[in-house]
Amino acid sequence: MGDLKEKINCYKNDIVKNLCEFVRIESIESNLEKDMPFGKNVNDALNYMLNLSNKLGFRSKNLDNYVGYCEYGIGEELIGILGHIDVVEASNGWKYPPFEAQMHDGKIYGRGTIDDKGPLLACMYALYLLKESNININKRVRIIFGTNEETGWKGIKHYVKEEEIPSYSFTPDANFPVIHGEKGILGFHLEKEFNEQSKYIKNIKGGISANVVPSDCKAILYNTETTIRNIEEKIHNYKNISYNIEDNEIELISTGKSSHSSQPELGENAISNLLRFLMEITDFDDELGNFINCYSDTIGFDYNGNLIFGDMSDDISGKLTFNLGKIEFTDNKIKLTYDIRYPISYNYDDIYKKLKESSIKLGYNYSEFEHFTPIYIDKNSKLIKTLMSVYSSHTGDNVSEPLIIGGGTYAKAFENCVAFGPVFPNEEELAHGPNEFISIDRLLELVEIYTKTIEELIKL
């Protein structure tokens, strides 16, 4: 293709402009609206990518607003690239507004810049460069636009029902050099309705999603002299807890740090902080108080779930991770929402049995909203070796090995599919956290890497 970097640079302004426009669409899933199953904003983002596909000269298709794709090339065999256009909500702690795509110091800041809008757009321009080069592509290359990857996978499941499954695929939604295994994922709720109204706590609310470590949580307490005195005595031990008093109510505010739930050690769970503090300030002699005290003994606050599971880990994929992502208590009802990433060598039954035992001890109703089994692809497979070769030749890194992660990607959707990029070794993980960004240089570098990747995959 001649000087690939020079050709990419010719499209730099278009790539940056398109990503900024894409990020400004606040594509968080919302309620069904007319024929838009994931709400208007997600639908707008899907249409944006389909319209861009048409402008770039690709064939495109919208599958009932559940999912879409663009395609280029000819031949019976299909190569797939899977990305998602939806994003998680933006919690506090941002330097710049998360949906304005502001540029500072050569970086584009915004929700979705790295997860997954920037890498997905890079793949589109990679395919466009191959199209414009007029090289012979004897396979079809299809870029699939997933719509609710963050919240349930209905979009990609609709694709699987309706469309052809590629022979080989990758998703630009994790890390380099390449991901050959992913932990299992289990999302579940614990719910209970109390028989009596709490004498001390009016409501508690915190978190935005199971797969995000919550950065904020608030509780409204009834104002009593004892409660105020206990708060003042204990609050100096909690640097991230503050309070306000207004009339007959006390507002407790817990501030943490968001991160992806697969790496809870990178965040600070504001819900856990608040529950710990509530345990300290009073004995709460009612049903809710009993729950809070029992919670610390039954489920606990560590992010590996040791009280429930013990040391559940393996040499391949490490420890189980356990994230309390949301809490809602109001009108005598409480609902807790969790995300678990469990090691590859364990199975669903290992997890389910222990969770049920703990929920029974707490007297809670247990219900699941998602489950994905672990995946593992041999390092010596054609797909892994091809992607490792692209990465090594581009970076000169001949030391790094294929990885196993706790994150769940679209690699679980198809056979012969793995996650490939966009985060390089030793780089900060920005997905689901505040101040997500992608540098313009990195965005263009991803176009280069994914151009070479497509070239190699069509040779398989």
Amino acid identity, residue 107? K
Q: Examine the residue annotation and report whether 116 is marked as an active-site residue of this protein.
A: no
CA-atom Rg of the chain in angstroms:
24
Cα separations (Å) of 279 from 20, 274, 291, 365? 45, 9, 10, 23
CA–CA distance, 385 with 382 (Å, rounded to integer): 5
Instruction: Give buried/exposed letters for 6-15 (b at 16+ CB in 10 A, else e).
Output: ebbeebeeeb
- The residue annotated as part of the active site, out of 26, 71, 149, 339, is 149
Query: What residues have CB less than 8 Å from 151, skipping those under 6 apart?
Result: 29, 38, 86, 209
CA–CA distance, 305 with 312 (Å, rounded to integer): 9
Tokens of 129: 């460069």
Provide the 10 A C-beta neighbour count for residue 400. 17
Amino acid identity, residue 219? A
Q: How would you class 178 by CB atoms within 10 Å of its CB: exposed for 0-12, middle for 13-18, buried for 19 or more?
A: buried
Residue 76 dihedral angles phi and psi, to the nearest 5°: -75, -35
Q: Hey, CA dihedral for 21, 112, 255, 426, is it positive or negative?
A: negative
179-182/403-405 β-pairing: parallel
Q: Examine the residue annotation and report whether 149 is marked as an active-site residue of this protein.
A: yes
CA–CA distance, 176 with 315 (Å, rounded to integer): 20
- What spatial distance separates the first Cα and last Cα of the chain, rounded to whole Å? 19
CA–CA distance, 409 with 83 (Å, rounded to integer): 9
Q: How would you class 246 by CB atoms within 10 Å of its CB: exposed for 0-12, middle for 13-18, buried for 19 or more?
A: exposed
CA angle 254, 256, 259 (to 5 degrees): 145
Cα separations (Å) of 352 from 183, 314, 334, 367, 373? 15, 18, 21, 11, 13
Cis geometry, peptide bond prior to residue 98 (ω within 30 degrees of 0): no
- The residue annotated as part of the active site, out of 26, 29, 71, 86, is 86
Q: Which residues are catalytic?
A: 86, 149
